[in-house]
Amino acid sequence: MRKMAFIFPGQGAQYVGMGKDIALNYKQSEEIFDIANEILRNDIKSLCFEGPEDELMKTENTQPAILATSIAILKIIEESGIKADVTAGLSLGEYAALVYSGVLDFKETVELVRKRGKYMQEVVPQGKGAMAAILGLDREIVNTIIEECSVKGVIEGANYNCPGQIVLSGETETIKLACDIAKDKGAKRAVILPVSAPFHCSLLKPAGEMLKKELENISISDINVDIISNVTGNYIDNKDKVKELLINQVSNSVLWEDTIDLMIKDGINTFVEIGPGKTLTAFVKKTAKKHGVKVESFNIENVDSLKEFLNTFK
């Protein structure tokens, strides 16, 4: 029996041109971008379709841009009648998942993530924080590196993406030290990432507090589709927990591998990545391989991939 998950990408998946051919071919998708423009009082549609890249890469633009692109694609899938059994999104992508599950309203959320991006960018002075990807080491080994380096400064696991891929976040010098130790312990790669702030670590707690004030004005509706939280790696069982989870998400680890583990354990065998890029599809395949199971994966980011998906489920 087919059981399906809709999963949504986070920051880093963006590129100039995302969503353009979808919007040109589907009026209801273009309407999502038009709504975003109106709410944000900014031409986010043009930014997605034409750039410039340096403006799209600004966190306060990137976050609503990716959200709008994901929801514009989702709109077509929903209207086709295809439904997911469960949903989740990586970091920013969790907001798209919450929109799909009926918990958040897109109009409120697109403005909320713009502010989220702004706060995450602003709270740590440029150069004080960094992030690094550690490839090819087991989670247990990376956690011992974090523990070893934590006496030198702030360092935490930001993203547990899939087997052999973990992202660290914290103070710049501590992250550099961790990269050196990771290489000594046999990491295939340990590289500083080109990001503007140390996301998903305790240095971002002030951004969470600022987001908390914004969330006071956001309405939370019932959960219509099961959704798994980044912070817990487990199902959100009560809508009243959503705001606290979103506040904590800013400065806590994203437990993405745990999320996919749980989906596979619960029989999900079809994964549909909705939005720019193919990153989550790669994470799913690596996690499924760990479990020794075969899953079907789709990533939908343009008209061709959308039509292929819709034709598969006609």
Residues with a known catalytic role:
91, 200
Instruction: Write out the two tokens for 308.
Output: 């292929």
In three-state secondary structure terms, 294 is coil
Task: Give CA separation, 244 vs 46, 231, 247, 284, 299, in Å.
Answer: 33, 10, 5, 27, 30
Contact 199, 168 (CB under 8 A): no
Q: What is d(CA 7, CA 277) in angstroms, rounded to the nearest whole number?
A: 12
The tally of CA atoms less than 13 A away on the side-chain side of residue 212 is 12
Contact 22, 304 (CB under 8 A): no
The arrangement of strands across the sheet holding 155-162 comes to 155-162, 165-171, 129-135, 189-192
Beta strands in 98-164 (DSSP E): 129-135, 155-162
Smallest CA-to-CA distance from 235 within 39, 35, 87 is with 87
Smallest CA-to-CA distance from 99 within 2, 186, 219 is with 219
